[in-house]
Amino acid sequence: MKQMDLPLVMPGEAEARAAQALMAFLLRIRARGVSDVAVLRALEVVPRDLFVPHRYRDLALRDIALPIACGQTMPEAWLVARMMEGLDLAPNHRVLEVGAGSGYATAILARLAGEVVSCEIFEPLAVECAQRLARLGFANVKILQGDVLDHLPEIGLFDRILVHGVVEGAPTGLMESLADGGVILLGRKAPRGGAILTRIAHHNSGDFIETPVGPCRLGGLIGPINGLM
């Protein structure tokens, strides 16, 4: 009688390994100073591997930036988590995202906020992002294709605005789209090179207070946003 080949992985072992890998991923994020329970829970339930190209899926739970289509990059999970903490999101918030990319940060935003509008300048990314989020059941997200400046007059005010890039000067267009008490999170050039994640808060007095959050790896934005804002 021919002996049957035994499976390389016993039933249940793959699930255990996946759970261990996810736990290690979350512990690394916590070790870098992220402590918001809601943010960590969102990172736990949103499967990062579904937002990266298939050839990089084995790296999805590594806290590294990963290349995506159109020459763009998916940021480190730690940076996404730090952005969420800096935005201080609430379930009733309306959020504008500049640069949807693969949609990973968009999905995290959708878990933490009430409504998300995301603008993506590259059409292939915008189409794939919208389809991916729809398949995953995110009904509170709208993906717009094109430069955010082209959409600002039609999409109203936001409680929070997240910009995945470095902006020079005062982001006037975004500031005008911010509700009272709102917050913008974006990158600024660091004096010695690199970028600094920066929080711009709109106070009820009408003032905008800019506060550095910490170093980050954000690049310049593609499109006219820096020249017109």
- Higher per-residue confidence, 33 vs 3: 33
Spatial separation of the C-alpha atoms in residues 195 and 193, rounded to whole Å = 7
How far from 120 is each of 35, 102, 150, 179, 188, CA to CA, in Å? Answer: 29, 10, 11, 22, 20
Task: Check residue 1 and give its pLDDT.
Answer: 38
Spatial separation of the C-alpha atoms in residues 164 and 86, rounded to whole Å = 13
CA neighbor of 163 nearest in space, from 127, 207, 112, 121: 121
Task: Check residue 146 and give its pLDDT.
Answer: 92
pLDDT over threshold 90, residue 127? yes
- Which helix or strand (DSSP H or E) is residue 107 part of? helix 104-112
Residue 132 makes CB contacts below 8 A (sequence gap 6+) with 50, 51, 102, 103
pLDDT over threshold 60, residue 225? no
Task: Check residue 169 and give its pLDDT.
Answer: 85
Query: Per residue in 129-154, pLDDT tens?
Result: 999 999 999 999 999 999 998 888 88
Query: Per residue in 3-18, pLDDT tens?
Result: 445 455 555 787 888 8
Maximum CA extent, the chain: 84
pTM of the shown model: 0.89
CA 186 from chain centre, in angstroms, equals 12
Task: Check residue 229 and give its pLDDT.
Answer: 38
Task: Check residue 204 and give its pLDDT.
Answer: 73
- Higher per-residue confidence, 227 vs 109: 109
pLDDT over threshold 80, residue 185? yes
Q: How far apart are the first and last CA of the chain?
A: 77
DSSP state letter for 155: H
Residue 187 makes CB contacts below 8 A (sequence gap 6+) with 163, 165, 166, 167, 195, 196, 197, 198, 216, 218
- Higher per-residue confidence, 192 vs 166: 166
pLDDT over threshold 50, residue 95? yes
User: Are 117 and 97 within 8 A, CB to CB?
Assistant: yes
The CA angle 196-213-189, to the nearest 5 degrees, is: 15
Task: Check residue 111 and give its pLDDT.
Answer: 97
**Domain layout of the chain by residue ranges:** 13-228
Task: Check residue 222 and give its pLDDT.
Answer: 67
What mean pLDDT comes out for the span 157-176? 92
Q: What is the CATH number of domain 13-228?
A: 3.40.50.150
